[in-house]
Amino acid sequence: MKDTRENEHGVALILSLIVTMLIAGLVVGYLSMSTANLQLTNSAQDTLQALHVAETGLARAWHELSADNMAAFADISTATCPSDEDGDGVPCGAAVVEDHREGTKIFYRFPCGHGPGLLVEDTASPASTGVYLGTYEEEFIGRGGAPITAETGVFAVMYVEIVAGERAKLISTGRYRDKTRAIEVTLAKPSPDTPPSFSLYAMLADGSIVYGGSGDTEGDIHTNHDLTIRGNGHSVEPATIPGTNPPQYYMADTDGDGIGDTQLYTGKVTASGSADTANAAGGTESGVDLVPIPEFTPQQIIDYCNANGIPITEYGSSPNLDGQALNGLVIVNGDLQLSGNISGDAMLIVTGDFRITGGAQIGTPDTTANLMVWVGGDITKQAGHSSIYGMIWAQGDVSFRGTADIYGSVITKSTSDVLGNVGLHFVPPGDFLTPLLNVFDPPKWVAKSWRECGEGGVNVRLDGDDGTGASLD
């Protein structure tokens, strides 16, 4: 009997040891899994933070590019290039590039092989490339992330010029701890001879628009407030090129083959407020985004004309301009009443009110508008049949009565009240007016494509082969 009890005690001890070992194994396994999960979580968080750093660098560099501050992009041909110690074609060690902040330098390390790296280098075309460097500090907080200190977050953004002044790439690499992420954005900017977007409406107003009577519209209409179109069968149709028979439409070449393939100025009516309209060929939308109308400062135009040799003529209040061919910039310091004809390639600035009477004619028929009247006060058109071939832009109200044919555009920072038999036919700005309009609304860089380049970052090799990084074609 004694032997049996001793055997039972031995079995119990062995079972206890087995159970203890199993529990210990489970605990160790659980701790290992927890540690691995924590490491994975931390790794994912670090990768996400690296993306935030890259986004911050991209935003900062894009801002500098939009401000034409190319001095912010260091000429990378002046970088101190490390040597290729292992002979694989990729330099190793540290490189120094001037930071965008005066008097500071940031050290970046080139990888050996194709691992992550921050400094990008392309000595083959130093005139068309640059790099924007910085640290991810508290004032540059990335989307969704807590502030990162200068010691742990660093970005480098490479600028690659594709078409001078019109097309470029920004490739932003961000590093957080040992993780890197890269973003490549292709940007495009309209050429300086492209009219700004605010000038491409038949009628554009910051305030309300009331458009009635029996006249029709060709082109687009927008108000940043409320819009009402009423009248006898009033319609809004696509803009046609003046003098074409059968009518031809303005077209854009979107695929670069030299042939217009997309119709412009389709007769669309939009309002940031409510829209009570008649028939609109391009459709009607309300509650849309505002269309910014830039602030017009006469001194900016005066400075531009002085810098570019454009003649300037000044008059006092209420001069008689009937029958004159205007040239360059013409300034009336006060009010102006026009009952006759004015013509020419010119910008007429009237600092007071502008009144159109009788059978006045502004400009001459053409396929583009090259005469513009900017008015610091109100524009009023009374009885009679007037013709306008150009742009009219008022800081105050626009009020039309009687009969008029407008081939150009109407812009107002206030309200537009057009009644009677007024036909409005959009004609885009021409070669003379476009550079003047771009003084107030310069062409801006816009994103055409965006992609993440992966965790490896962007590495541009000195021999022109960028390995597994982003393509710089």
83-87, 247-251, 306-310, 450-454: segment of lowest average pLDDT: 83-87
pTM (two decimals)? 0.69
pLDDT at 9: 62
Q: Look up residue 414 and give its two tokens.
A: 């206030």
Q: Look up residue 427 and give its two tokens.
A: 């004609």
Residues 350 and 278 both lie in one domain: yes
Identify the three-state secondary structure at position 334: coil
SS3 sequence, 73-111?
Answer: CECHHHCECCCCCCCCCCCCEEEEEECCCCCCEEEEEEC
Taking residues 309-327, report their average pLDDT. 94
Residues 322 and 424 both lie in one domain: yes
C-alpha distance across the termini of the chain, in Å: 91
Residues 318 and 343 both lie in one domain: yes
Query: Is pLDDT of 138 > 60?
Result: no
Domain coverage including residue 428: 197-437
Residue 308 lies in a domain: yes
- Sign (positive/negative) of CA torsion 33, 34, 38, 41? positive
Mean pLDDT of the chain: 75
C-alpha distances in Å from residue 448, one per residue of 186, 189, 249, 472: 6, 10, 26, 15
Residue 5 lies in a domain: no
Residue with the bigger pLDDT between 447 and 142: it is 447
Q: Residue for token digits 């292992």?
A: 86
| Share above pLDDT 90 across residues of the chain, in percent, rounded to a whole number | 34
The type of residue at 106 is I
Residue with the bigger pLDDT between 416 and 82: it is 416
Residue 20 lies in a domain: no
Strand extents, DSSP E, 198-274: 203-205, 209-211, 217-218, 221-223, 227-229, 235-237, 251-252, 262-263, 269-271
pLDDT tens-digit map of 281-300: 778 889 999 999 999 989 99
Query: Is pLDDT of 146 > 50?
Result: no
Residues 243 and 159 both lie in one domain: no
Residues 274 and 408 both lie in one domain: yes
Within 10 angstroms of residue 410's Cβ, the number of other Cβ atoms is 26
Taking residues 180-194, report their average pLDDT. 83
pLDDT tens-digit map of 329-358: 999 999 999 999 999 999 999 999 999 998
Residues 217 and 358 both lie in one domain: yes
Query: Is pLDDT of 185 > 80?
Result: yes
- Name, in order, each residue with C-beta under 8 angstroms of 75's C-beta and a sequence gap of 6 or more: 126, 130
